[in-house]
Each structure stands twice: as C-alpha cells, then as structure tokens.
Structure 1
Amino acid sequence: MATFNAQDGTKIYFKDWGKGKPVLFSHGWPLDADMWDSQMNFLAQRGYRAIAFDRRGFGRSDQPWEGYDYDTFASDINDLIEHLDLREITLVGFSMGGGDVARYIGRYGSERVSALALLGAVTPIFIKTDDHPEGVDKSVFDDIKVGLLKDRAQFISDFSTPFYGLNKGQSVSDGVKAQTLNIALLASLKGTVECVTAFSETDFRADIAKIDVPTLVIHGSGDQVVPFEATGRLAASTIKNARLKVYENAPHGFAVTHQQQLNDDLLAFLTSH
C-alpha cells in the first residue's frame, strides 16, 4: 500500500495510476480517494498520471488526534508533491478539498502547479459572516456536528439525500449509497467532526487572491450542501481568467450523478493548457 509520512509523522495513503502529466485530486468530506476512481481511471487511460490521497483521519490514512486544519492539510499535500517530486500538476479539489488546494497555492505558490480545478468547492468562504452574508449560517454546521456525535452512521446515511439530490429528481444506485456510507465510516470520528469546523469556518479569500494559474470552476446549480451563489460563483468571479461551468440542477455529488460530463470537462480542460 503506497503511503508517505507527513511532517508530524502521520502516515497518509495515496493511489497513483498511469503515466504522464500529473493530476492530483483532493477529496470531499466525509469521503476518501475512492470518490475519484472514475475520473482517475478515465484520465489514466488517456495518458495522464492520476494521483489521489486519503486526507489524514480518513480512509486508509492514519487517524491522528490533531491536525485537522487547512494549514496542516496544505502541508500534507506539499509533502506528497515533494515525495513524488511532481511538477506541472493540475490540482483538482472537490468540496472541502477545494480548500486544501487553494490553501496549498496560498502557502506554497504555484511553481509546481500548471492549473487548478475547483469542483463544488467551499472556497472562497462557506460560513455566513458580516462581510459574507450569503454564506451558510453557523447553526447548520453546529447541527451537523451534533448529528454526527449522536449517530454518525444514520446521519451520513440521511446525508446522501441532499448530497446526491435524491429529493430533487436525481438518482443514484443503492450501491453508491452503500459505498458512500462505507467510505465515511472508515474515517476517524474526531477528524470527521473537526473537519466540519475547518471547512465551514476557514476563510480562503487570501488564498484565492494568490491563484495565478488557469482555473476551472464547476458547480451544480442545485447544490444543497455547498450553495453555488455563496461559493462557486464568487470564486469564479474573483480568480483571474477563471472558467465557470454550471451544471444545471446538478447536486453536490455531481462526480457521480454527472460522471461522464465531469470526466469530459476535466479532459477538455487538461488538453487546453
């Protein structure tokens, strides 16, 4: 099993498929690298090197008690990039993973990065604040943490409905729902809860301002988890020369519901720069 050691000794799992220009994927909450299997397989078959890791506390990575903050997540990505000596990378971040890759550029620059894709991402800021009134109220995130601590398995099971838009005309198989729950339950409870605080309260606006590589922003207009108007639209309007693609009525989990469309769009973006 391929792993590397982060700065604090945490062992982090990654998968590395194919050969060619590298594409590094950062997953969403509460998932792991397996959420990217379709995209990785598709791109690796077309001459790219697809790499994805399990965030600390999730999947097959170690479950440390501390380190569930975006400076640490960005440091972990930097450690992986240096471990594999990657260059000319396209970074792809979904949901909370969009924060990882934005903070990576904010802290480490874009010397090794050639492009960026933010998919349903929590950037530039998720939570409602005085200067971000369109954000999501803190009480929503507080309720999520209460639900996780009370009955994580049932909470995640129920969470599949808005995540995949099952209450808004979308559909996924029973297998997908089972896999989503199984992946989520591999994670540390501590990490799962603390990441809610991290992805909801972290302000990425300073990181977004430092992005100087071609950027693709994809968001579903029907996203009930990370609302487009509060996040993706603002990111696309802030990042210089960003391309915005809105998937009409698509839910947060469009990597599944709009799998082929996403695969095709990522490939088109990769071949355009």
Structure 2
Amino acid sequence: MEYYIKVEPDVNIFVEDLNPTGKKTILFIHGWPLSHKAYEYQFDKLPEMGYRCIGMDTRGFGASDKPWGGYSYDSLADDVRAVVETLKLQNFTLAGHSMGGATAIRYMARHHGYGVSKLALFGAAAPSLTMRPDFPYGLPKEAVTKLIEETYNDRPKMLRDFGDIFLFQYATQPLSDWFFQLGLEAAGWATAACATTFRDETLFSDLEKINVPTLILHGIHDKVCLFPLAEAMKNGIANSTLVPFENSGHGLFWEERDKFNEELTTFIEQ
C-alpha cells in the first residue's frame, strides 16, 4: 500500500506500507540523501517473514513534498510523530539509517518514545556527525560545509562523489547509478538544508532519554559516520547493544544484507 500522510497543512509525507497485517511493525527512516527505496533488500525479505515494514520518505526527499523549510531534527521528528499517530502505530520498532538514525533519536527524546518498543540505529549520524572541541570523533566540519557548497554548485557531481565513499565493498555500476538516482529525487535545497542540520546540530543529551532496548549496527569501515560514533552511542544509551559489521562501510544494509536482516529480526524477536 502507498499513500500520503499530511504532517502540516501544506506538507505531505509519502509512505509505503508493506504487509499491513504483519505480526510486528518496523518503521524505517532512510538516510541522507536517499529515500525509503534504499531499504529494498529489507523490503524484499522481511515482509515475507511476517513483518509489517513501513518506509517513509523524509520531507524534501523521494516522493514526499519538498517545502522550503522544516529540516531541523525537531521538525523531522515531528513528521515521524504525525506518521505514527495517523497509522495508529503501537509497540513498533523505530529504525533509522544515518540522518534517519539521528532523527529517530530525536524522536525518542522529543516525543518520549511515543509508541516505540524498540529502537534500531544503522550507521547513525549521532551524537554528532562532525568533530567538536569535546568530541574529536566525527568528520571535520569543513568537509560537510564542502558538501553543502557542492550541492549548490554541482549536485550531481556531489552525489557521485558521495556515492564513492558510501560503500566499502565493490558495487556494480548499475547499483551505483541506482543510488545516484535516489539522491537526484531529492530537492537541492532540502539536500543542503539537511546537511546543514547534521553539521550543526548534536544529540548528546537525547541519548540519555532513550529508555527502550536499542540495537546499534555500524560498519567498521564507515567513512561518513565514523565507527567511534557507534561506540559513543553505545556508551550514551542505556540498554543498548553494538554489533560491528566487519565488511561494511556506510551502506551496511546492502553490503551485508543477510547479516543485517538477521541481526534486526533477532533483536525484534527478543
């Protein structure tokens, strides 16, 4: 099933709801600068295993509306809340990759984990994607600023360059082209605004407010959200488990898809 959910008077979020009668529900939030389609290799398998899988396109990306504003973590978390309320989701697993993981963390803190029974974070951009005086583990702030500048100057080239560091394992040219096309579906201004958010905002205090079992899956070769971020999340979130992916970069849900799907479903069934 596919439909739009109104999150603001003039903003509609695109949702794909696979196996709506499934035994347990997983709400997936994609990473920057992709769409819910990035989870294709989860949506191929998990619904047939009996899970209800819901993929939403973040505002500005995929098939969702692309307003000029509303790209802070607070606004993105509020969009998730609107989807949860509209679909009347309860006791579900909230799952997020990259910036989607950061959005999931903000949702847990800002909305007190409304409806969520478990949290799963994949290569999440938290607690800070960029290095700070008291947090030397992220990317240099200048590197993200360069991404923003390239988005405004030559977005297709920026997406190609970003795709080159997204995966650790070899990707065929057609697969690289597919990731590239997912990025092109976004609005340029939304791509830049979200990059500004994950450059400037932090989630250190949010981690302490998470009170549900949390699974952290992270590629040790991740060049976007470096592996020390996963260790910081593990230390900051009570009742959390970190599973390193030895043969993955940022795209662990594709690079080690079988292990990824097994770790996620085992966690949900615990």
Same-fold status (TM-score > 0.5)? yes
**1:17 matches 2:15:** no
Q: Which amino acid aligns with 1:12?
A: I
Q: Which amino acid aligns with 2:16?
A: K
How far apart are the structure 2 equivalents of 1:8 and 1:95?
28
How far apart are the structure 1 equivalents of 2:32 and 2:203?
17
Of 150, 158, 172, which residue of structure 1 is paired with 2:153? 150
Aligned to 1:67: 70
How far apart are the structure 1 equivalents of 2:32 and 2:87?
25
How far apart are the structure 1 equivalents of 2:162 and 2:114?
38
How far apart are the structure 1 equivalents of 2:5 and 2:212?
27
Taking the TM superposition and a 5 Å limit, the aligned residue runs for 1:129-144 are 129-144=132-147
Aligned to 1:269: 267
1:207-235 per-position Cα deviation (integer Å, ceiling 9, x unaligned): 11110001000111111111011x11100
Aligned to 1:179: 178
Kindly indicate whether the alpha-carbon contact (under 8 Å) linking 1:56 and 1:62 is maintained by their aligned counterparts in 2. yes
Aligned to 1:89: 92
Shift in Å, 1:236: 0.9
Kindly indicate whether the alpha-carbon contact (under 8 Å) linking 1:17 and 1:41 is maintained by their aligned counterparts in 2. no
Q: Which amino acid aligns with 2:183?
A: A
Alignment coverage as a number of residue pairs:
267
1:137-158 per-position Cα deviation (integer Å, ceiling 9, x unaligned): 2111111112222211122112
Of 236, 239, 248, which residue of structure 2 is paired with 1:238? 236
Aligned to 1:5: 6
How far apart are the structure 1 equivalents of 2:246 and 2:6?
41
How far apart are the structure 2 equivalents of 1:11 and 1:194?
18
Taking the TM superposition and a 5 Å limit, the aligned residue runs for 1:114-263 are 114-165=117-168, 170-229=169-228, 231-263=229-261
Question: Where do 4+ consecutive residues of structure 1 move more than 4 Å?
Answer: none
Identity level (%): 34
Shift in Å, 1:111: 4.1
How far apart are the structure 1 equivalents of 2:114 and 2:103?
17
Summarize the Cα distance change of 1:240–1:151 in structure 2 as closer, same or farther, 3 Å threshold. same
Kindly indicate whether the alpha-carbon contact (under 8 Å) linking 1:223 and 1:252 is maintained by their aligned counterparts in 2. yes
Shift in Å, 1:254: 1.4
- Structure 2 residues without counterparts, runs of 5 or longer: none
Shift in Å, 1:68: 0.9
Shift in Å, 1:37: 1.9
How far apart are the structure 2 equivalents of 1:111 and 1:76?
13
Shift in Å, 1:81: 0.2
Kindly indicate whether the alpha-carbon contact (under 8 Å) linking 2:139 and 2:224 is maintained by their aligned counterparts in 1. no
Shift in Å, 1:203: 1.0
Of 83, 99, 103, which residue of structure 2 is paired with 1:100? 103
Kindly indicate whether the alpha-carbon contact (under 8 Å) linking 1:74 and 1:101 is maintained by their aligned counterparts in 2. yes
Please, what is the CA RMSD of the aligned residues?
1.1
Q: Structure 1 residues 82-91 or 243-252, which shifts more?
A: 243-252
How far apart are the structure 2 equivalents of 1:248 and 1:89?
28
SS at match of 1:157: helix
How far apart are the structure 1 equivalents of 2:60 and 2:67?
6
Q: Which amino acid aligns with 1:255?
A: F
Kindly indicate whether the alpha-carbon contact (under 8 Å) linking 2:101 and 2:121 is maintained by their aligned counterparts in 1. yes
SS at match of 2:217: strand
How far apart are the structure 2 equivalents of 1:45 and 1:268?
15
Q: Which amino acid aligns with 1:110?
A: G
- Structure 1 residues without counterparts, runs of 5 or longer: none
Shift in Å, 1:192: 0.3
Kindly indicate whether the alpha-carbon contact (under 8 Å) linking 2:101 and 2:122 is maintained by their aligned counterparts in 1. yes
Summarize the Cα distance change of 1:213–1:105 in structure 2 as closer, same or farther, 3 Å threshold. same
How far apart are the structure 1 equivalents of 2:124 and 2:97?
5
Kindly indicate whether the alpha-carbon contact (under 8 Å) linking 1:223 and 1:249 is maintained by their aligned counterparts in 2. no
